[in-house]
Amino acid sequence: MRQKMKKIPGFVRGIIALVFWVAVWWILSLIVGKEVLIPTPLRVLKRLFELLKTAEYYRIVGLSLVRITAGYFAAVLFGLVFGVLSAKFEAVQLLLSPLLSVIRATPVASFIILALVFLNRQLIPGAIAFLMVFPVMCGNIRTGILETDRKLLEMASVFRMKKTRVLRYIQIPAVRPYFTAAFRTSLGLAWKAGVAAEVLCNPKYSIGRMLYESKIYLETAELFAWTVTVIVMSVILEKLLMLLVTRLEKGRQEEKRGLSA
């Protein structure tokens, strides 16, 4: 059975899983029998298509995307810088360690409420996305640097390789898997935390605000439609960013082949 499943393309397996869970959702909605609690998939799909026809939908999604991805990429950048510094200098790690532990341990809701006191509502989703991603990126980069093969570094020292070549051919390849893992894992985390921040801080033109208003006015089909939007956007962003990483990886591999030839 397992061998047969492996022969099925991943895309097809994904569709089968999706169809199964949509069927479960449909059955639950029929059992409950009240659309105000669990609307049918068809009702949600209809409402989603209605939203897709409006210009406001794209404005809301676009602004949420800008807010959250700005915080995400800022966290990636700062995570890279401080990950390198904490791996190279023990004093930096000593100072950063308590801060990262506090960020990891503190509930997202607490950060959002604190941010409401100090920040403009429009900036809070990005700030929360930053806080969720920074510890992951910083920790992974530090681990990748510390896990670099010491024998390769010693060999580079013996042959007096230039620092730029050591960085390019030894250290970056060693860190890359850790960076890719953090890049992929933290994106979904940033998106979910950013939308949660929008729900609580209610910035104008945001997915979180629409989720909150749908709940207040018992527009359950619209609530589900916006939830579907969040899920689809998360998947699309992850696929696009991983495609970018894969393209960069292929480019480097082709460059290495050219050098070896």
pLDDT on residue 65: 92
Q: Note whether residue 112 is domain-resident.
A: yes
Contacts of 163 (CB under 8 A, 6+ apart): none
Q: Note whether residue 39 is domain-resident.
A: no
Q: Note whether residue 34 is domain-resident.
A: no
Q: Over the stretch 167-218, which tens digit does the pLDDT of each residue have? A: 777 777 788 888 888 888 888 888 888 999 999 888 888 999 999 999 888 8
> Domain range spanning residue 184?
45-260
Exposed, middle or buried by CB within 10 Å (0-12, 13-18, 19+), for 228? middle
Q: Note whether residue 139 is domain-resident.
A: yes
CATH of the domain at 190: 1.10.3720.10
Q: Note whether residue 25 is domain-resident.
A: no
201: nearest Cα among 122, 132, 108, 103? 122
Q: Note whether residue 151 is domain-resident.
A: yes
What 8-state DSSP symbol labels residue 171? I
Q: How many domains does the chain have?
A: 1
The band of 259, judged by pLDDT with boundaries at 50, 70 and 90, is very low
Q: Over the stretch 94-149, which tens digit does the pLDDT of each residue have? A: 998 888 888 888 888 888 888 888 888 889 999 999 999 999 999 899 988 888 77
Q: Over the stretch 50-79, which tens digit does the pLDDT of each residue have? A: 999 999 999 999 999 999 999 999 999 999
CA dihedral 116, 122, 128, 129 (to 10 degrees): 170
Q: Note whether residue 144 is domain-resident.
A: yes
The band of 258, judged by pLDDT with boundaries at 50, 70 and 90, is very low
